[in-house]
Amino acid sequence: MNRAIIYLEDGTHFEGRSLFVTGEIAGEVVFNTAMSGYQEVLTDPSYAGQIVTMTYPLIGNYGVNETDVESAKVHVKGFVVKEFCNTYSNFRATKSLIDYLNENKILAVEGIDTRALTKHLRVCGAMRAIISTEDFSLRSLAAKMKKVPGMEGSDWVKAVTTKEKYIWDPQKKYSFKVAAIDCGIKTNILRILSNLGCEVHVFPATAKAQEIKAVQPDGLFISNGPGDPAALPYVVETIKEFIGQLPVFGICLGHQLLGLSLGGKTYKLKFGHHGVNHPVKDLLINKIGITSQNHGFCVDIKSLNQEDVEVTHVNLNDNTVEGLRHKRFPLYAIQYHPEAAPGPNDAHYLFERFIELMKEHAQTK
Please report the domains of the chain, with CATH numbers, ordered by start residue: 2-145 (3.50.30.20), 157-364 (3.40.50.880)
Give the residue numbers marked as catalytic. 252, 337, 339
Given a contact cutoff of 8 angstroms between Cβ atoms, the answer to whether 348 and 192 are in contact is yes
Rounded to the nearest 5°, which phi and psi values hold at 279? -80, 130
Beta-carbon contacts of 283 under 8 Å, excluding residues fewer than 6 positions away, are 311, 312, 313, 314
CB 28 within 8 A of CB 55: no
Q: Say what the alpha-carbon torsion angle 309, 313, 316, 319 is, to the nearest 10 degrees.
A: -10
Q: Quote the pLDDT of residue 344.
A: 65
Surface-to-core class of residue 65, CB atoms within 10 Å of its CB (0-12 exposed, 13-18 middle, 19+ buried): middle
* DSSP-based three-state secondary structure for 298: strand
Instruction: Please give the chain's pLDDT, 365 residues, in tens.
Output: 799 999 999 999 999 999 999 999 999 999 999 999 999 999 999 999 999 999 999 999 999 999 999 999 999 999 999 999 999 999 999 999 999 999 999 999 999 999 999 999 999 999 999 999 999 999 999 999 999 999 999 999 999 999 999 999 887 789 999 999 999 999 999 999 999 999 999 999 999 999 999 999 999 999 999 999 999 999 999 999 999 999 999 999 999 999 999 999 999 999 999 999 899 999 999 999 999 999 999 999 999 998 999 999 999 999 999 999 999 999 999 999 999 876 667 778 999 999 999 999 988 86
How do beta strands 287-300 and 265-282 pair? antiparallel
Backbone angles phi, psi at 291, to 5 degrees: -120, 160
